[in-house]
Amino acid sequence: MSARVFLTSILIIHATVSKCAVHRENDPEIISKSKIELTPILITSVLNDIVILSAPYVNAEGQYYLHKPNGDAIELNLNKNKDSSDIYNDLAIKNTKGSKKNSSANFQIFDVNNTSRNDNSDDFAEKETQMEAHDFMIGPLQEEDHGNWVLSAYYKDIDGHWVEMFQVITIEIVETVPLLPEKSQLYLGEPFGLSFAYPIKDLQSCQIIPPKTTFDRFYARTTLNTCKFVMKNVTSEDTGSWTIIGVGNIVYKGSAFLQVGEIIK
């Protein structure tokens, strides 16, 4: 049968997820003689999403463990009956949210606010019935789920030695945050300030992206909890969409448009 993993308490990795270290502190009591790494995958989601993934098939005796971002491991009780001679396949991804599609992967994402046990139990049950033998769920996603997960499949080779096949699953949770000012019209030489509309707890880093990524623009960050940036004087090159990205427990992102005009004398 398929497995569901509903998680509420996990240690947070405080870093941009693309560079998080993978902790493996509580591995199961299996000593593997060799390891096979599958291609890592990145899943971008929002809070309260539920992610459905499909574990690679090894054989009927395979054992599956999912490692949380803090290193804790939980066993997945997946249905190991499969009429196939395939050794394994990479984790596949199907995304049912938006128009994203990836033919080399197979996962689904749905919003628990729109498809939940309480508000729409029929839709939730339908998602469960569509799960195949090696599918499992993670979610609803909370801040502590942001980071690197590891799926491990253990099986014995022809000599009876344990082999670990593992795959890093990076779950990046992005929250859209409004910026102040959301829209701004300034004249050449005027100062320009941009920040998140409200303070965000535990922010560790801030980045501002100007309209022209190759444009060498000087600006100063004045506060961290709102990711506020200030430029002393704007130029015509500053016209366009500005983006602020903050990294804390999750990723926070917002955009605003600046229009710079000339003073008519």
4, pLDDT greater than 90: no
Nearest to 223 by CA among 245, 250, 243, 195: 195
262, pLDDT greater than 50: yes
Q: Which residue has the higher pLDDT, 23 or 218?
A: 218
Tokens of 86: 């395939």
Would 3-173 and 177-261 be classified into the same CATH topology?
yes
Tokens of 190: 């005027």
Q: What mean pLDDT comes out for the span 67-92? A: 65
Residue 188 contacts residue 227 (beta carbons within 8 Å) = no
Q: What is the pLDDT of residue 237?
A: 87
CA 84 – CA 61 distance, rounded (Å): 14
Backbone φ and ψ of 253, nearest 5°: -145, 140
Q: What is the pLDDT of residue 176?
A: 96
Q: What is the pLDDT of residue 264?
A: 67
Tokens of 146: 């942001």
Q: What mean pLDDT comes out for the span 24-47? A: 79
Q: What is the pLDDT of residue 13?
A: 27
CA dihedral 8, 13, 15, 20 (to 10 degrees): -120
Give the model confidence (pLDDT) of 90-114 as tens digits.
443 333 333 233 333 556 776 655 5
Q: What is the pLDDT of residue 112?
A: 52
Give the model confidence (pLDDT) of 165-211 as tens digits.
999 999 999 999 999 998 889 999 999 999 999 999 999 999 999 88
Q: What is the pLDDT of residue 221?
A: 84
Q: What mean pLDDT comes out for the span 52-67? A: 86
Q: What is the pLDDT of residue 83?
A: 43
Q: What is the pLDDT of residue 265?
A: 59
Q: What is the pLDDT of residue 178?
A: 96
Q: What mean pLDDT comes out for the span 211-218? A: 70
Element (H, E) at 42: strand 41-45
Q: What is the pLDDT of residue 125?
A: 65
Q: Provide the pLDDT confidence category of residue 250 given band limits of 50, 70 and 90.
A: very high
- CATH class as words, domain 3-173: mainly beta
Residue 155 contacts residue 58 (beta carbons within 8 Å) = yes
Average pLDDT in the chain: 75
Q: Report the SS3 class of residue 19.
A: helix
16, pLDDT greater than 80: no
Element (H, E) at 261: strand 251-261
What is the widest separation between alpha-carbon atoms in the chain? Answer: 86
Domain ranges for the chain, please list them.
3-173, 177-261
Residue 192 contacts residue 258 (beta carbons within 8 Å) = yes
The CATH architecture assigned to 177-261 reads: Sandwich (2.60)
Q: What is the pLDDT of residue 260?
A: 92
Q: Which residue has the higher pLDDT, 110 or 30?
A: 30
Residue 52 contacts residue 104 (beta carbons within 8 Å) = no
In this structure, the strands spanning 107-111 and 41-45 are unpaired
pTM: 0.73
151, pLDDT greater than 90: yes
- Percentage of the chain lying above the pLDDT 70 cut: 68
Q: What is the pLDDT of residue 251?
A: 97
Find the radius of gyration of the CA atoms of the chain. 23
